Amino acid sequence: MNIEVALFSGLTLGALYCLMAMGLTLVNSTIKFFNFTHGAILMTGAYFTWYLLEEMGLNYFASFIVTLLLTFILGVVVQRVIVQPLVNKEASGLMLILGTFVIGNLLENSFLLIFGGRLKRLPTPLEGHFSIGAATITYHSLLILVTTSVVMGGMAYFLLRTRMGMAMRCVAQNEQAAKLMGIPVKTVYRYVLGISSLLAGVAGIFLGSIYFMTPSMGGGPLSKAFTVCVLGGLNSILGTVIGAFLVGILESTLTLFFPMYYVTPALFLLMMFILLVRPEGIFA
Amino acid sequence: MKKIFIILLIPLATLIFLPVLTQRTYILHLAVMSFVFAVISQNWDLTMGYLGLFNFGHLSFFAIGAYTSGILSINYQVSPWVCLFIGGLIALVAGSILTLPTIRLGGRVFSLFSFSFQQVLFYLIRSNPMGLTGGSQGLSRIPPLQVFDYQLQGANSIPAYYLALGLFLGITLILYLTVKSPIGMAFTAIRDSENYAISRGINPFKYRFIAVVVGAFFTGIIGAFYAHFLGVVGPEILGWGNVVLTCCMVEFGGLGTLIGPTAAAFMLTILSNYLSGLEAYRNIIISLIMFFVLIAFPSGLAGIFVPIKTNAHKLTDLFKARNKDGEG
């Protein structure tokens, strides 16, 4: 392992964290809570793709698209079932966190019952690799980077140019005023959760082909995504993107110098430090 | 209020005579675990319910108490009774480390800070620094507390049961008196309207500090007791499942009521132990119950049975208001 390899794998990690954390930031800036189903939805993304590929025999591209649809629908369901009822009751952030965690727990355990706890691995669509200098780059990680860039571009277009995206930004800035201007806040919430789940689903598909899939695979990436959100600014998508790549590269370069065990606590310590020095995030 | 006390006498008497009523160690074990979790959720309620301060890392005090006590008594042969106290003290120190820098930065920063504190602690315990914490295996063969020749370890030891009951009742009494005292009034005043409380001469930072630190101390003590009672501690006490189960106890029972979280702790501990043979089904059942309670009774069980003065909406408005303050 040398620095080029670490940098490249950091970039790939950063792309995955970016996909995760963008959804979290989207929810956190509009509905104002941390979505704890996010990890479970990531897991469902991986499992849906696995099911479509292995059991239904679809090809990779088709199952990718169907998974996106399914995770979007799942996000809308989460919004209908738990988020909106609690928001209607003016529940606290704590209750939203607990509620979404409970739904996540439900999903994880149902998937454990349906698919079993055995380790699974998603096949990669592109085999092979090439090398630049000392770094070996697989086509798969290149695919991850390209897809993430496409998704980021799509998000930017969506948020800056479309009506729904603008409505989301309005709700994020001032919910009361948005309501007064006739923006349907409930619909916005539905799209917010749908899109953030879709992003988690994409992250899940890629994580499932890099690491192994288990029903509890979402926990680790979720807590990393939290550090990303805090680092990059809780309400800024751009900050989150920068923060994600920062955390990814930091993580993989730290593993060069420290044992693996200490890298995650080091990231959390960094998060604590940032919270004390700059509570609104570095790039907010 | 008098009626409540009379109603409370019945479960109290049952608990006092439980070792006489049944010899089954499983039931006694469940009772002791319920005492432990009742104490944790009461102390959590002190910060979360009475102060509206969402401390996500409350279980880290529990883990700190358990691990300090375990490590000291295994590696340095300190008497377990002293360890009980030291465990509480170290948790208190951890509580002040957590609180002092963040208390002025608002509730949101405090929650995130305590959350990451707990994560750091969890990973450190798991990574087994200097071979002290035993990694993911946890600590085992923690020496028991001793009175004369009695070893207070395991549920078949009746003195251990009474020690747990004593700790539980004592801490409950202290917390109850605190909550009814001017200090407790200050807590609720700060929760309900911080600015008004300040204008009446209440220093919110001081009282938040007091609540967190007192909660940490008692949680640390009960953590140390837990370690000596079971003889083993593992890092899974800081795992997601445990954190959320305990948090649900507070929420399920009703924030800011003390009695609600206590009752909920008993119910959920017994339920989750009873279903423990079913693994995945157990989690599904508990999640479904939580889901139902969250949707149907947002102010918890206490909201149904005990007429409480604070209404949940005020509290939740405050949470929202604080969230919005945090952005600006």
The pLDDT of residue B53 is above 60: yes
Q: Which of A122-131, A264-273, B113-122, B170-179 has the lowest mean pLDDT?
A: A122-131
- Work out the pLDDT band at B279, boundaries 50, 70, 90: confident
Nearest by CB to B295, which of A85, A106, A269?
Answer: A85
Is B294's CB within 8 Å of A95's CB? Answer: yes
Q: Is residue B52 domain-resident?
A: yes
The whole-angstrom distance between A148's CA and the closest CA on chain B is 27
Contacts B289 to A, Cβ<8 Å: none
Q: Which residues of A, range 110-139, sit inside 8 Å of B by Cβ?
A: 110, 112-113
Measured distance CA(A150)–CA(A133) in Å, rounded: 27
Is A105's CB within 8 Å of B106's CB? Answer: no
Overall average pLDDT of the A99-108 stretch: 90
Whether B113 contacts chain A with CB within 8 A: yes
Measured distance CA(A71)–CA(A37) in Å, rounded: 12
Beta strands in B111-164 (DSSP E): 145-147, 150-152
Overall average pLDDT of the A18-34 stretch: 90
The whole-angstrom distance between A87's CA and the closest CA on chain B is 10
Contacts A234 to B, Cβ<8 Å: 327
Q: Is residue B10 domain-resident?
A: no
Q: Which residues of B, range 40-69, sit inside 8 Å of A by Cβ?
A: 48, 54
Chain B interface test: which of A34, A102, A176 (most B C-beta within 10 Å): A102
Q: Is residue B154 domain-resident?
A: yes
The whole-angstrom distance between A276's CA and the closest CA on chain B is 7
Measured distance CA(B106)–CA(B110) in Å, rounded: 6
Is B127's CB within 8 Å of A265's CB? Answer: yes
Size of the A and B interface in Cβ pairs below 8 Å: 129
Query: Under a CB-based contact definition with an 8 Å cutoff, are residues B109 and B208 in contact?
Result: no
Measured distance CA(B300)–CA(B250) in Å, rounded: 8
Measured distance CA(B102)–CA(B98) in Å, rounded: 7
Q: What is the largest CA-CA distance in chain B?
A: 61
* Whole-number percent of chain B with pLDDT over 70: 91
Q: Which residues pair with A130 in a beta bridge?
A: A137
Per residue in B3-25, pLDDT (tens digit) is: 777 777 888 888 888 888 877 88
Measured distance CA(B134)–CA(B233) in Å, rounded: 9
Whether B278 contacts chain A with CB within 8 A: no
Per residue in A114-132, pLDDT (tens digit) is: 988 788 888 887 777 787 7
Q: Is residue B15 domain-resident?
A: no
Pick the residue with more confidence: B279 or A141?
A141
Overall average pLDDT of the B202-228 stretch: 92
Nearest by CB to A106, which of B284, B320, B323?
Answer: B284
Overall average pLDDT of the A36-54 stretch: 92
Please classify residue A216 by burial: count the beta carbons closer than 10 Å to its beta carbon, then call 0-12 exposed, 13-18 middle and 19+ buried. middle
The whole-angstrom distance between B30's CA and the closest CA on chain A is 24
| Cβ count near B242 (within 10 Å) | 17
- The pLDDT assigned to A245 comes to 92
- The pLDDT assigned to A65 comes to 93
The pLDDT of residue B308 is above 60: no
Is A99's CB within 8 Å of B105's CB? Answer: no
Per the structure, the count of domains in chain B is 1
The whole-angstrom distance between B15's CA and the closest CA on chain A is 31
Domains in chain A: boundaries: 3-217
Contacts A264 to B, Cβ<8 Å: 119, 123
CA distance readout (Å), A112 to A37, A106, A119, A216, B324: 16, 10, 11, 9, 38
Q: Is residue B259 domain-resident?
A: no
- Indicate whether this model's pTM tops 0.90: no
Range of the domain at B53: 24-239
CA distance readout (Å), A51 to A54, A107, A120, A195, A205: 5, 16, 11, 22, 12
Per residue in A138-164, pLDDT (tens digit) is: 888 889 999 999 999 999 999 999 999
